[in-house]
Chain A
Amino acid sequence: MNRNVAVIGTGETVFRSHHPDKTYVDLAQEAVVAALRDANMEPAGQEGVIEAATIVSAQFENLPKPPYCIAYVRLDGVSTAMVNFVKEFDMSDLQAASVRVKPGARVKVKWIDKPEGKATDFYYVLA
Protein backbone atom coordinates (compact mmCIF):
# COMPACT_ATOMS: atom_id res chain seq x y z
CA MET A 1 0.00 0.00 0.00
CA ASN A 2 1.24 3.46 -0.86
CA ARG A 3 -0.40 5.18 2.09
CA ASN A 4 -0.27 4.38 5.77
CA VAL A 5 -3.49 2.89 7.07
CA ALA A 6 -4.13 2.66 10.78
CA VAL A 7 -6.74 0.85 12.81
CA ILE A 8 -7.84 3.36 15.43
CA GLY A 9 -10.67 1.47 17.05
CA THR A 10 -12.19 -1.98 17.21
CA GLY A 11 -15.43 -3.41 18.51
CA GLU A 12 -16.93 -6.84 18.76
CA THR A 13 -19.99 -8.47 20.17
CA VAL A 14 -19.71 -10.78 23.11
CA PHE A 15 -18.41 -14.13 21.85
CA ARG A 16 -21.20 -16.66 22.12
CA SER A 17 -22.49 -19.42 19.83
CA HIS A 18 -26.01 -17.94 19.72
CA HIS A 19 -27.56 -14.57 20.44
CA PRO A 20 -31.24 -15.48 20.56
CA ASP A 21 -32.12 -12.19 22.25
CA LYS A 22 -30.69 -9.97 19.52
CA THR A 23 -31.42 -9.31 15.86
CA TYR A 24 -28.51 -9.09 13.46
CA VAL A 25 -29.11 -5.33 13.36
CA ASP A 26 -28.61 -5.26 17.14
CA LEU A 27 -25.40 -7.25 16.79
CA ALA A 28 -24.00 -5.04 14.05
CA GLN A 29 -24.91 -1.93 16.00
CA GLU A 30 -23.23 -3.23 19.15
CA ALA A 31 -19.96 -3.87 17.31
CA VAL A 32 -20.02 -0.58 15.41
CA VAL A 33 -20.77 1.51 18.49
CA ALA A 34 -18.02 -0.28 20.43
CA ALA A 35 -15.51 0.39 17.63
CA LEU A 36 -16.43 4.07 17.44
CA ARG A 37 -16.21 4.52 21.21
CA ASP A 38 -12.85 2.70 21.21
CA ALA A 39 -11.68 5.33 18.72
CA ASN A 40 -13.06 8.13 20.91
CA MET A 41 -15.73 8.90 18.32
CA GLU A 42 -19.48 9.27 18.70
CA PRO A 43 -21.82 7.42 16.29
CA ALA A 44 -23.73 10.59 15.30
CA GLY A 45 -25.06 13.78 16.74
CA GLN A 46 -28.68 14.09 17.84
CA GLU A 47 -29.18 17.17 15.72
CA GLY A 48 -28.53 17.83 12.07
CA VAL A 49 -29.33 19.79 8.96
CA ILE A 50 -31.86 19.07 6.23
CA GLU A 51 -30.27 18.35 2.86
CA ALA A 52 -33.50 17.61 1.00
CA ALA A 53 -37.13 17.41 2.06
CA THR A 54 -40.61 17.17 0.63
CA ILE A 55 -44.12 17.27 1.99
CA VAL A 56 -46.09 14.51 0.34
CA SER A 57 -49.66 15.59 -0.31
CA ALA A 58 -50.90 12.88 -2.68
CA GLN A 59 -52.15 9.55 -1.42
CA PHE A 60 -50.05 6.64 -2.68
CA GLU A 61 -50.98 3.04 -2.11
CA ASN A 62 -49.16 1.48 0.83
CA LEU A 63 -47.74 4.81 1.96
CA PRO A 64 -48.94 6.94 4.88
CA LYS A 65 -51.98 9.16 4.74
CA PRO A 66 -50.90 12.63 3.53
CA PRO A 67 -49.72 15.15 4.32
CA TYR A 68 -46.43 13.97 5.74
CA CYS A 69 -42.90 15.21 5.44
CA ILE A 70 -39.77 13.19 4.75
CA ALA A 71 -36.27 14.57 4.75
CA TYR A 72 -32.70 13.53 4.19
CA VAL A 73 -30.85 14.89 7.21
CA ARG A 74 -27.12 14.98 7.73
CA LEU A 75 -26.62 14.56 11.45
CA ASP A 76 -23.82 16.48 13.10
CA GLY A 77 -20.53 14.64 12.89
CA VAL A 78 -21.40 12.37 9.97
CA SER A 79 -20.93 12.78 6.24
CA THR A 80 -24.01 11.12 4.81
CA ALA A 81 -27.67 12.02 5.11
CA MET A 82 -30.31 9.70 6.55
CA VAL A 83 -33.94 9.75 5.51
CA ASN A 84 -36.82 9.85 7.97
CA PHE A 85 -40.07 11.62 8.72
CA VAL A 86 -40.17 15.19 9.99
CA LYS A 87 -43.08 15.49 12.40
CA GLU A 88 -44.71 17.81 14.89
CA PHE A 89 -45.08 20.90 12.72
CA ASP A 90 -48.09 22.42 10.98
CA MET A 91 -48.50 21.19 7.38
CA SER A 92 -51.97 22.62 6.75
CA ASP A 93 -50.48 25.29 4.45
CA LEU A 94 -48.19 23.31 2.14
CA GLN A 95 -46.27 26.25 0.77
CA ALA A 96 -45.61 27.76 4.18
CA ALA A 97 -44.70 24.37 5.62
CA SER A 98 -42.30 23.59 2.77
CA VAL A 99 -40.38 26.78 3.52
CA ARG A 100 -39.81 25.56 7.07
CA VAL A 101 -38.17 22.34 5.87
CA LYS A 102 -36.02 23.83 3.14
CA PRO A 103 -32.38 22.67 2.86
CA GLY A 104 -30.29 24.08 5.65
CA ALA A 105 -33.03 23.97 8.29
CA ARG A 106 -31.89 22.38 11.54
CA VAL A 107 -33.72 19.44 13.08
CA LYS A 108 -33.42 17.30 16.17
CA VAL A 109 -33.76 13.56 16.51
CA LYS A 110 -36.68 12.39 18.64
CA TRP A 111 -36.94 8.76 19.72
CA ILE A 112 -40.19 6.88 20.17
CA ASP A 113 -40.99 5.52 23.61
CA LYS A 114 -40.59 1.84 22.74
CA PRO A 115 -37.90 1.31 20.07
CA GLU A 116 -38.35 -1.80 17.92
CA GLY A 117 -35.02 -1.91 16.10
CA LYS A 118 -36.48 -0.19 13.04
CA ALA A 119 -35.71 2.97 11.10
CA THR A 120 -38.99 4.37 12.41
CA ASP A 121 -37.72 4.21 16.00
CA PHE A 122 -36.89 7.87 15.57
CA TYR A 123 -38.04 10.85 13.58
CA TYR A 124 -36.99 14.46 13.17
CA VAL A 125 -38.52 17.59 14.62
CA LEU A 126 -37.61 21.14 13.71
CA ALA A 127 -34.99 22.53 16.07
Chain B
Amino acid sequence: MDVYVIGYASHPPAEKVLTKRLEEMVYDTSAQALRAAAIERTELDHITIAACDELDGRSISNMLMVAPAGGYLKDELRVTDSAMVGLHLAAMRIESGRYHLGLLASWNKSSTAPFEDVMRMRCEPFFTRPIGLNATIADALFAQAQCAAGIASESKATAQSANLQHAAASNPRGLKRKAATADNIASSRYVATPLREGHCAPVTDGAVSVVLASGEWLKHHPQAKPLARIAGIGSAIDHYYLGKDRLVGLASFKEAWGVASRQANVRSAQTLGAVEADCQTAYQALAYASTLRLDGAPSFCPSGSVFAQNPYFCAGLINLIEAIEQVRAAGPAQQSQTRFAAAHGQHGFAQQGNVVAVVERV
Protein backbone atom coordinates (compact mmCIF):
# COMPACT_ATOMS: atom_id res chain seq x y z
CA MET B 1 0.00 0.00 0.00
CA ASP B 2 1.21 3.48 -0.83
CA VAL B 3 -0.01 4.98 2.45
CA TYR B 4 2.25 6.49 5.11
CA VAL B 5 1.84 7.75 8.64
CA ILE B 6 3.58 11.10 8.88
CA GLY B 7 2.42 12.22 12.32
CA TYR B 8 0.30 11.21 15.26
CA ALA B 9 -0.73 12.30 18.71
CA SER B 10 -2.52 10.70 21.57
CA HIS B 11 -4.14 12.54 24.44
CA PRO B 12 -2.33 12.11 27.76
CA PRO B 13 -3.77 8.95 29.32
CA ALA B 14 -6.30 9.35 32.09
CA GLU B 15 -8.84 7.15 33.78
CA LYS B 16 -11.21 10.11 33.55
CA VAL B 17 -10.51 13.43 31.88
CA LEU B 18 -12.30 15.83 34.20
CA THR B 19 -10.69 19.13 33.26
CA LYS B 20 -11.61 19.25 29.57
CA ARG B 21 -14.68 18.92 27.45
CA LEU B 22 -14.55 16.20 24.82
CA GLU B 23 -14.24 18.90 22.15
CA GLU B 24 -11.12 20.27 23.86
CA MET B 25 -9.56 16.80 24.15
CA VAL B 26 -10.07 16.15 20.47
CA TYR B 27 -8.98 19.62 19.35
CA ASP B 28 -5.77 19.39 21.38
CA THR B 29 -4.99 15.94 20.00
CA SER B 30 -5.65 16.78 16.35
CA ALA B 31 -3.68 20.03 16.61
CA GLN B 32 -0.77 18.15 18.16
CA ALA B 33 -0.85 15.51 15.40
CA LEU B 34 -0.74 18.23 12.74
CA ARG B 35 2.19 19.89 14.51
CA ALA B 36 3.97 16.52 14.74
CA ALA B 37 3.54 16.10 10.99
CA ALA B 38 4.64 19.71 10.43
CA ILE B 39 1.64 20.52 8.27
CA GLU B 40 -1.17 23.07 8.41
CA ARG B 41 -4.80 22.03 8.62
CA THR B 42 -5.46 23.90 5.40
CA GLU B 43 -3.22 21.42 3.56
CA LEU B 44 -5.49 18.46 4.37
CA ASP B 45 -7.63 17.25 1.51
CA HIS B 46 -9.84 15.05 3.68
CA ILE B 47 -10.56 13.94 7.21
CA THR B 48 -11.85 10.64 8.56
CA ILE B 49 -13.56 10.42 11.92
CA ALA B 50 -14.10 7.27 13.94
CA ALA B 51 -16.42 7.87 16.85
CA CYS B 52 -19.54 6.63 18.54
CA ASP B 53 -22.49 8.81 19.54
CA GLU B 54 -23.52 6.40 22.28
CA LEU B 55 -20.12 6.55 23.94
CA ASP B 56 -20.05 10.33 23.51
CA GLY B 57 -23.29 10.29 25.49
CA ARG B 58 -25.35 12.24 22.95
CA SER B 59 -26.95 11.90 19.55
CA ILE B 60 -25.55 13.53 16.38
CA SER B 61 -22.37 14.15 18.32
CA ASN B 62 -20.49 14.59 15.07
CA MET B 63 -22.19 17.93 14.56
CA LEU B 64 -20.20 19.21 17.53
CA MET B 65 -17.03 17.21 16.94
CA VAL B 66 -16.12 17.71 13.28
CA ALA B 67 -14.70 21.20 13.75
CA PRO B 68 -12.52 20.51 16.82
CA ALA B 69 -11.32 17.29 15.16
CA GLY B 70 -10.01 19.40 12.25
CA GLY B 71 -12.76 18.81 9.73
CA TYR B 72 -14.27 22.28 9.30
CA LEU B 73 -15.05 22.70 5.58
CA LYS B 74 -13.16 19.51 4.78
CA ASP B 75 -14.25 16.43 2.88
CA GLU B 76 -15.23 14.33 5.87
CA LEU B 77 -16.37 10.74 6.35
CA ARG B 78 -17.16 9.00 9.61
CA VAL B 79 -17.35 5.43 10.82
CA THR B 80 -18.94 4.29 14.05
CA ASP B 81 -17.51 0.81 14.64
CA SER B 82 -14.03 1.50 15.95
CA ALA B 83 -10.94 3.60 15.37
CA MET B 84 -9.27 0.81 13.41
CA VAL B 85 -12.22 0.65 11.03
CA GLY B 86 -11.57 4.37 10.62
CA LEU B 87 -7.93 3.65 9.83
CA HIS B 88 -9.02 1.15 7.22
CA LEU B 89 -11.30 3.71 5.59
CA ALA B 90 -8.69 6.46 5.81
CA ALA B 91 -6.05 4.22 4.21
CA MET B 92 -8.45 3.17 1.45
CA ARG B 93 -9.28 6.78 0.69
CA ILE B 94 -5.61 7.50 0.07
CA GLU B 95 -5.07 4.20 -1.72
CA SER B 96 -7.87 5.19 -4.11
CA GLY B 97 -5.58 7.85 -5.58
CA ARG B 98 -8.25 10.52 -5.09
CA TYR B 99 -6.85 11.78 -1.78
CA HIS B 100 -3.29 12.46 -0.66
CA LEU B 101 -3.17 14.01 2.78
CA GLY B 102 -5.66 13.17 5.49
CA LEU B 103 -6.30 13.28 9.18
CA LEU B 104 -7.89 10.45 11.12
CA ALA B 105 -9.38 11.39 14.48
CA SER B 106 -10.90 9.11 17.08
CA TRP B 107 -11.71 9.35 20.77
CA ASN B 108 -13.31 7.75 23.77
CA LYS B 109 -14.69 9.68 26.73
CA SER B 110 -16.87 6.99 28.16
CA SER B 111 -16.47 8.50 31.63
CA THR B 112 -19.34 10.74 30.52
CA ALA B 113 -21.53 7.83 29.43
CA PRO B 114 -22.34 4.58 31.26
CA PHE B 115 -20.13 2.26 29.22
CA GLU B 116 -21.80 -1.03 30.09
CA ASP B 117 -25.27 0.47 29.62
CA VAL B 118 -24.23 1.53 26.13
CA MET B 119 -23.03 -1.98 25.41
CA ARG B 120 -26.20 -3.51 26.84
CA MET B 121 -28.33 -1.35 24.57
CA ARG B 122 -26.45 -2.77 21.59
CA CYS B 123 -28.27 -6.04 22.19
CA GLU B 124 -31.12 -6.57 19.79
CA PRO B 125 -34.34 -5.79 21.66
CA PHE B 126 -36.28 -9.05 21.58
CA PHE B 127 -33.99 -11.94 22.45
CA THR B 128 -30.74 -10.73 23.99
CA ARG B 129 -31.61 -7.43 25.68
CA PRO B 130 -34.23 -8.95 28.03
CA ILE B 131 -31.58 -11.44 29.16
CA GLY B 132 -28.94 -8.76 29.46
CA LEU B 133 -25.59 -8.99 27.75
CA ASN B 134 -22.94 -6.34 28.07
CA ALA B 135 -19.26 -6.20 27.13
CA THR B 136 -18.04 -7.90 30.29
CA ILE B 137 -20.60 -10.70 30.15
CA ALA B 138 -19.84 -11.34 26.48
CA ASP B 139 -16.13 -11.41 27.36
CA ALA B 140 -16.88 -13.96 30.08
CA LEU B 141 -18.73 -16.18 27.61
CA PHE B 142 -15.70 -15.93 25.35
CA ALA B 143 -13.39 -16.77 28.24
CA GLN B 144 -15.38 -19.84 29.21
CA ALA B 145 -15.50 -21.09 25.61
CA GLN B 146 -11.72 -20.64 25.31
CA CYS B 147 -11.22 -22.59 28.54
CA ALA B 148 -13.52 -25.38 27.34
CA ALA B 149 -11.52 -25.56 24.10
CA GLY B 150 -8.30 -26.00 26.08
CA ILE B 151 -6.80 -22.74 24.82
CA ALA B 152 -7.07 -20.84 28.10
CA SER B 153 -7.45 -21.52 31.79
CA GLU B 154 -7.96 -19.32 34.80
CA SER B 155 -4.37 -19.75 35.94
CA LYS B 156 -3.02 -18.98 32.45
CA ALA B 157 -5.22 -15.88 32.29
CA THR B 158 -3.93 -14.75 35.65
CA ALA B 159 -0.31 -15.15 34.51
CA GLN B 160 -1.07 -13.38 31.21
CA SER B 161 -2.72 -10.48 32.98
CA ALA B 162 0.24 -10.14 35.34
CA ASN B 163 2.62 -10.05 32.34
CA LEU B 164 0.54 -7.45 30.51
CA GLN B 165 0.22 -5.29 33.60
CA HIS B 166 3.96 -5.54 34.21
CA ALA B 167 4.68 -4.38 30.64
CA ALA B 168 2.05 -1.64 30.90
CA ALA B 169 3.57 -0.25 34.10
CA SER B 170 6.71 0.82 32.26
CA ASN B 171 4.98 2.14 29.13
CA PRO B 172 5.64 5.92 28.98
CA ARG B 173 2.40 6.43 27.04
CA GLY B 174 0.37 4.48 29.60
CA LEU B 175 -1.12 5.30 32.97
CA LYS B 176 1.90 3.74 34.70
CA ARG B 177 -0.33 1.95 37.20
CA LYS B 178 1.41 -0.35 39.61
CA ALA B 179 1.15 -3.88 38.24
CA ALA B 180 -0.94 -6.30 40.28
CA THR B 181 0.73 -9.49 41.37
CA ALA B 182 -0.53 -12.85 40.16
CA ASP B 183 -1.80 -13.54 43.68
CA ASN B 184 -3.77 -10.30 43.71
CA ILE B 185 -5.26 -11.08 40.31
CA ALA B 186 -6.13 -14.64 41.30
CA SER B 187 -7.93 -13.42 44.41
CA SER B 188 -9.76 -10.53 42.75
CA ARG B 189 -13.52 -10.97 42.62
CA TYR B 190 -15.29 -12.69 39.78
CA VAL B 191 -17.26 -10.33 37.59
CA ALA B 192 -18.68 -13.16 35.52
CA THR B 193 -17.14 -16.62 35.65
CA PRO B 194 -14.39 -17.36 34.76
CA LEU B 195 -13.52 -13.70 34.36
CA ARG B 196 -12.09 -11.92 37.38
CA GLU B 197 -11.70 -8.20 37.83
CA GLY B 198 -7.93 -8.60 37.60
CA HIS B 199 -8.21 -10.22 34.17
CA CYS B 200 -9.85 -7.11 32.66
CA ALA B 201 -8.35 -3.87 31.37
CA PRO B 202 -10.28 -0.94 32.87
CA VAL B 203 -11.75 1.44 30.28
CA THR B 204 -10.15 4.89 30.27
CA ASP B 205 -10.61 8.19 28.46
CA GLY B 206 -8.44 9.12 25.50
CA ALA B 207 -8.13 10.46 21.98
CA VAL B 208 -5.88 9.72 19.01
CA SER B 209 -5.24 11.57 15.77
CA VAL B 210 -3.11 10.28 12.92
CA VAL B 211 -1.92 12.09 9.78
CA LEU B 212 -1.74 9.92 6.67
CA ALA B 213 -0.18 10.76 3.33
CA SER B 214 0.21 9.12 -0.05
CA GLY B 215 3.57 8.25 -1.56
CA GLU B 216 2.89 10.81 -4.26
CA TRP B 217 2.37 13.56 -1.68
CA LEU B 218 5.66 12.58 -0.03
CA LYS B 219 7.47 12.86 -3.36
CA HIS B 220 6.31 16.44 -3.68
CA HIS B 221 7.10 17.25 -0.06
CA PRO B 222 10.60 15.86 0.52
CA GLN B 223 10.88 17.76 3.80
CA ALA B 224 8.18 15.53 5.28
CA LYS B 225 9.51 12.51 7.16
CA PRO B 226 7.19 9.49 7.16
CA LEU B 227 7.13 7.49 10.38
CA ALA B 228 5.97 4.21 8.86
CA ARG B 229 4.23 2.73 5.86
CA ILE B 230 0.87 1.03 6.20
CA ALA B 231 1.99 -2.16 4.49
CA GLY B 232 -1.28 -4.05 4.86
CA ILE B 233 -4.67 -3.75 6.47
CA GLY B 234 -7.48 -6.26 6.84
CA SER B 235 -10.93 -6.02 8.34
CA ALA B 236 -13.56 -8.68 8.95
CA ILE B 237 -16.71 -9.18 10.95
CA ASP B 238 -18.21 -12.28 12.49
CA HIS B 239 -21.84 -13.19 13.04
CA TYR B 240 -23.69 -11.81 16.03
CA TYR B 241 -24.79 -14.72 18.14
CA LEU B 242 -22.31 -16.14 20.60
CA GLY B 243 -22.39 -19.87 20.02
CA LYS B 244 -19.44 -22.19 20.44
CA ASP B 245 -18.07 -21.90 16.90
CA ARG B 246 -18.12 -18.13 17.03
CA LEU B 247 -16.44 -17.94 20.45
CA VAL B 248 -13.76 -20.51 19.75
CA GLY B 249 -13.11 -19.99 16.04
CA LEU B 250 -11.86 -16.36 15.99
CA ALA B 251 -12.87 -16.40 12.34
CA SER B 252 -12.93 -12.65 11.78
CA PHE B 253 -9.60 -12.16 13.56
CA LYS B 254 -7.98 -14.81 11.38
CA GLU B 255 -9.52 -13.31 8.25
CA ALA B 256 -8.36 -9.77 9.10
CA TRP B 257 -4.90 -11.04 10.02
CA GLY B 258 -4.64 -13.05 6.82
CA VAL B 259 -5.55 -10.13 4.58
CA ALA B 260 -3.20 -7.68 6.31
CA SER B 261 -0.25 -10.06 6.37
CA ARG B 262 -0.72 -11.09 2.72
CA GLN B 263 -0.81 -7.45 1.64
CA ALA B 264 2.35 -6.78 3.63
CA ASN B 265 3.95 -9.99 2.36
CA VAL B 266 4.51 -11.13 5.92
CA ARG B 267 4.60 -14.90 6.24
CA SER B 268 4.00 -15.36 9.92
CA ALA B 269 3.49 -13.41 13.12
CA GLN B 270 6.83 -14.68 14.40
CA THR B 271 8.64 -12.54 11.83
CA LEU B 272 7.10 -9.34 13.20
CA GLY B 273 8.91 -7.14 15.65
CA ALA B 274 5.75 -6.64 17.68
CA VAL B 275 2.09 -7.52 17.63
CA GLU B 276 0.04 -5.04 19.61
CA ALA B 277 -3.31 -6.74 20.07
CA ASP B 278 -6.46 -5.21 21.54
CA CYS B 279 -6.92 -7.60 24.48
CA GLN B 280 -9.74 -6.32 26.67
CA THR B 281 -9.19 -9.34 28.90
CA ALA B 282 -6.30 -11.68 29.54
CA TYR B 283 -8.37 -14.49 27.98
CA GLN B 284 -8.46 -12.56 24.70
CA ALA B 285 -4.68 -12.16 24.90
CA LEU B 286 -4.29 -15.91 25.34
CA ALA B 287 -6.58 -16.59 22.40
CA TYR B 288 -4.83 -14.17 20.04
CA ALA B 289 -1.36 -15.30 21.10
CA SER B 290 -2.34 -18.92 20.60
CA THR B 291 -3.83 -18.24 17.17
CA LEU B 292 -0.66 -16.42 16.10
CA ARG B 293 1.62 -18.97 17.83
CA LEU B 294 3.07 -16.22 19.96
CA ASP B 295 2.36 -17.80 23.37
CA GLY B 296 4.83 -16.27 25.77
CA ALA B 297 6.65 -14.39 23.02
CA PRO B 298 8.13 -11.02 24.06
CA SER B 299 6.93 -9.57 20.76
CA PHE B 300 3.29 -10.06 21.82
CA CYS B 301 1.97 -6.80 23.28
CA PRO B 302 5.31 -5.43 24.52
CA SER B 303 3.55 -2.16 25.39
CA GLY B 304 1.08 -3.91 27.70
CA SER B 305 -1.60 -3.04 25.13
CA VAL B 306 -4.88 -1.87 26.67
CA PHE B 307 -3.62 -2.60 30.17
CA ALA B 308 -1.45 0.54 29.73
CA GLN B 309 -4.44 2.66 28.76
CA ASN B 310 -7.76 1.58 27.34
CA PRO B 311 -9.75 4.27 25.59
CA TYR B 312 -12.05 1.51 24.38
CA PHE B 313 -13.24 2.94 21.07
CA CYS B 314 -9.80 4.12 19.91
CA ALA B 315 -7.67 1.48 21.63
CA GLY B 316 -6.67 0.02 18.26
CA LEU B 317 -5.07 3.33 17.26
CA ILE B 318 -3.11 3.38 20.52
CA ASN B 319 -1.84 -0.02 19.40
CA LEU B 320 -0.98 1.48 16.01
CA ILE B 321 1.14 4.12 17.70
CA GLU B 322 2.93 1.45 19.73
CA ALA B 323 3.55 -0.61 16.58
CA ILE B 324 4.94 2.46 14.78
CA GLU B 325 7.22 3.17 17.72
CA GLN B 326 8.52 -0.38 17.48
CA VAL B 327 9.47 -0.05 13.80
CA ARG B 328 11.05 3.30 14.66
CA ALA B 329 13.06 1.50 17.36
CA ALA B 330 11.48 3.61 20.07
CA GLY B 331 9.08 1.17 21.74
CA PRO B 332 8.73 0.96 25.52
CA ALA B 333 10.03 -2.63 25.42
CA GLN B 334 11.91 -2.44 22.16
CA GLN B 335 12.06 -5.70 20.21
CA SER B 336 14.92 -6.70 17.95
CA GLN B 337 13.26 -7.61 14.62
CA THR B 338 11.58 -4.38 13.75
CA ARG B 339 11.04 -4.06 10.04
CA PHE B 340 7.36 -4.90 10.49
CA ALA B 341 4.94 -4.63 13.40
CA ALA B 342 1.20 -5.16 13.64
CA ALA B 343 -1.60 -3.32 15.39
CA HIS B 344 -5.00 -4.82 16.09
CA GLY B 345 -8.35 -3.44 17.12
CA GLN B 346 -11.63 -5.16 17.86
CA HIS B 347 -15.22 -4.11 18.33
CA GLY B 348 -18.58 -5.62 19.20
CA PHE B 349 -19.57 -8.35 21.62
CA ALA B 350 -16.71 -10.83 22.16
CA GLN B 351 -14.65 -9.28 19.35
CA GLN B 352 -17.28 -9.57 16.65
CA GLY B 353 -15.25 -7.28 14.38
CA ASN B 354 -11.48 -7.25 13.96
CA VAL B 355 -9.07 -5.01 12.08
CA VAL B 356 -5.34 -5.65 11.70
CA ALA B 357 -2.80 -3.22 10.26
CA VAL B 358 0.81 -4.12 9.47
CA VAL B 359 3.24 -1.19 9.52
CA GLU B 360 6.69 -1.17 7.96
CA ARG B 361 9.80 0.81 8.81
CA VAL B 362 10.68 3.49 6.24
Contacts and interface: CB of A to CB of B under 8 A. Distances in A.
A44 interface: no
Interface residues of A, number: 33
Interface in B160-210: 189-195, 197
Interface residues of B, number: 34
A104 B241 CA distance: 18
A57 B195 CA distance: 10
Interface in B118-171: 120, 126-128, 130-134, 136-137, 140-145, 148
B193 A60 contact: no
Contact of A57 (B126, B127, B192): B192
Q: Give chain A's interface secondary structure class.
A: mixed
A103 B130 contact: no
A53 B126 contact: no
A102 B126 contact: no
Q: Give chain B's interface secondary structure class.
A: mixed
Given A52-B243, A72-B141, A98-B194, A119 B130 contact: yes
B137 A51 contact: no
Contacts of A81: 241-244
B116 interface: yes
Interface in A29-69: 51-58, 60-64
A53 B140 CA distance: 8
A80 B192 contact: no
B301 interface: no
Contacts of A51: 145, 243-244, 247
Interface of A: 25, 51-58, 60-64, 70, 72, 74, 80-85, 94-95, 97-98, 102-104, 118-120
Q: Which 8 pairs between the two chains have the least Cβ-Cβ distance?
A: A54-B140, A81-B243, A51-B244, A98-B193, A58-B191, A103-B148, A52-B141, A63-B132
Interface of B: 114, 116-117, 120, 126-128, 130-134, 136-137, 140-145, 148, 189-195, 197, 241-244, 247
Given A25-B126, A51-B244, A53-B144, 19 more contacts: A52-B141, A52-B142, A52-B144, A54-B143, A54-B144, A55-B193, A57-B191, A60-B120, A60-B137, A70-B137, A72-B141, A80-B241, A102-B144, A103-B145, A103-B244, A104-B148, A118-B130, A119-B130, A119-B131
